[in-house]
A and B are shown apart, each in its own frame.
Chain A
Amino acid sequence: MIISELKPFEELQQALSEFDKPFLIGCAACATACKSGGEEEVFKLQEWLATQDKDVTGSVVIDEACHIMRASRDLRQHKNAVQDADVLVVLACGSGIQSISSTTEKRVVGGLNSMFLGNVRRFGHYEEMCSLCGDCILNETAGICPVTTCAKGLLNGPCGGMEDGHCEIDAEIECAWRLIYERLQSQKRQGVFARRVPPKNWSHRRKPGRFRLQDGKR
């Protein structure tokens, strides 16, 4: 899921300084799961805005804020409250914020910073394991992504900063290449170590990403 966190209150205060009547939007998908934009957080934001002398016109938690048409549909069901508002405050990832900003003439203020595509280790602990590079080599690296979990994204083994099998940027983090090496060894195969991995094709990651199924199929 997309891991996001609430912006600092000072930043929100600044962003909302010119508005009096916010309408609040949360997201029932990732932002709910990582507790940045679900029912509870929308409610807390509403309470805080009351202390800032804002007159909240209403709120909704959209099923999936990243789905542009559904977001627009869910918003229409709150037509009056949205119309009364002078700003829509969105507690969703950057995709969710843009679903909203693309379907309304109203000013939109995003309340979250989106951080990464994260796995859940346990409740409240998120780890980035995939950076969506479009050129996956996990089958060769025993299911451990060096593009993401090596701080430098190196493709041919560890850097000179590996100390006792840990990463130079954080001694708490195990070197991705050590983990790949150990897991491949336990699987008794060479995997990625059998070849010199050529430079990565970053054109797969050209921005902005676009992809269309043909007639709903591949």
Chain B
Amino acid sequence: MSRLSEQLASGQFVVTAEIAPPKGTNLTPALADVKKFAGITAVNVTDNQGANMRLSSLALAAQLQQAGTETILQLTCRDRNRMALQSDLLGAAAFGIENLLLLSGDHSKFGDHPDARPVFDLDSVQLLDMTAGLMAGVNMVGKPLNGVPSFFPGAAVNPAAEPFELMFQKVSKKIDSGARFFQTQSIFDREALERFMSAMAPLGVPVIAGVLLIRSAKMARFLNDNIPGVQVPEALIERFERATDPMAEGIEVAREAVAWARESCQGVHLMTLGHEDKIPAILA
């Protein structure tokens, strides 16, 4: 049982953070950075995030896990067909990785290899189904596994997506396919979060709300233009424009989001993008 699954099961408010593998083989900074995550339940290891090529998330997650840091391995369908996804999941289990965040993945168009052929042999629902199959001891074609993995599979959601019912039918499918927790896209709208959480309540699947540390109006606009599914509201951007200390404003904005999450969600996922030293201030 992973610590994440235990803490969620016991109703503890969990805190997750994330780390990106290096754009090369130098793991030293990542292994040092992770020490800043002391007290955090688990660390997401991103998978070629934003479709930018980096060292494999599995390799870094394995190293972190062996160094005693609990990880949530992110795995996308963009870069692997169904065989590679199964192989990587079995490999992850061999390294003691249990927590998974199973994603479709941002389109390759957004990243540093826009000419790459995106795979999407499976979608995130099918990836969850396949993972449930592996946990039940069979691969996608029904062949028994020699050694069965034990995972705690999670999925992603954008609680503010519209149309709501269209977004939510996929959430239901993900739960039917074995999603045991959700991590959300960054939340900026309390009402949208509350509406989502009231729809989630009867389903009993924990939600870890995404909280992004925005450092400036410029960064907010960059996110809106370049990161799929992130829509920082104009009113919030204006707050950053007025702020004399935008970083302090960003921490305050993140603290507000954490407070909303404490009211209705089962945890927060902090995206501090290199400013992990601000985590204590955001949680305080």
Contacts and interface: CB of A to CB of B under 8 A. Distances in A.
Contact of B170 (A156, A164, A199): A156
Interface in A142-174: 151-165, 168-169
B189 interface: no
Nearest to A155: B123
Contact of A196 (B125, B156, B162, B163): B125
A76 B162 CA distance: 60
B121 interface: yes
A155 B157 CA distance: 16
Tell me the dominant secondary structure on chain A's binding face: loop
A181 B228 contact: no
B106 A161 contact: yes
B137 interface: no
Contacts of A153: 120
Nearest to B176: A196
A199 B121 contact: yes
A126 interface: no
Interface residues of A, number: 27
A160 B156 contact: yes
B126 A162 contact: no
Given A196-B125, A199-B140, A160 B166 contact: no
A160 B173 contact: no
B104 A154 contact: yes
Contact of B157 (A160, A181, A196, A199): A160
Q: Which of A168, A198, A199 has the most CB of B within 10 A?
A: A199
A156 B106 CA distance: 16
B173 A156 contact: yes
Interface string B38-61: 000000000000000000000000
Nearest to A182: B163
Contacts of A177: 166
A169 B110 CA distance: 8
- Interface range for B: 35 or more
B173 A199 contact: no
Interface string A91-114: 000000000000000000000000
B80 interface: no
Contact of A169 (B107, B140, B158): B107
Nearest to A146: B123
Interface in B122-162: 122-126, 129-130, 140, 156-158, 161-162
Given A152-B118, A169-B107, A158 B170 contact: yes
B200 to A, nearest CB: 16
A169 B126 contact: no
Given A157-B170, A158-B167, A198-B126, A152 B104 contact: yes
A14 B106 CA distance: 37
B28 interface: no
Given A152-B120, A196-B177, A160 B158 contact: yes
A202 B156 CA distance: 26
Interface string B72-103: 00000110001000000000000000000001
A157 B167 CA distance: 8
A17 B101 CA distance: 54
Contacts of B266: none
B183 to A, nearest CB: 11
A177 B125 CA distance: 15
A35 interface: no
B123 A162 contact: no
A162 B82 CA distance: 24
A54 interface: no
B163 A181 contact: yes
Interface of A: 151-165, 168-169, 177-178, 181, 193, 196-200, 202
Given A163-B229, A177-B166, A199-B121, 6 more contacts: A156-B124, A157-B166, A158-B170, A160-B156, A161-B106, A163-B231
17 contacts: A151-B109, A152-B77, A152-B105, A152-B120, A154-B104, A156-B126, A156-B173, A157-B167, A157-B169, A160-B157, A160-B185, A160-B229, A168-B229, A169-B107, A181-B163, A193-B169, A196-B126
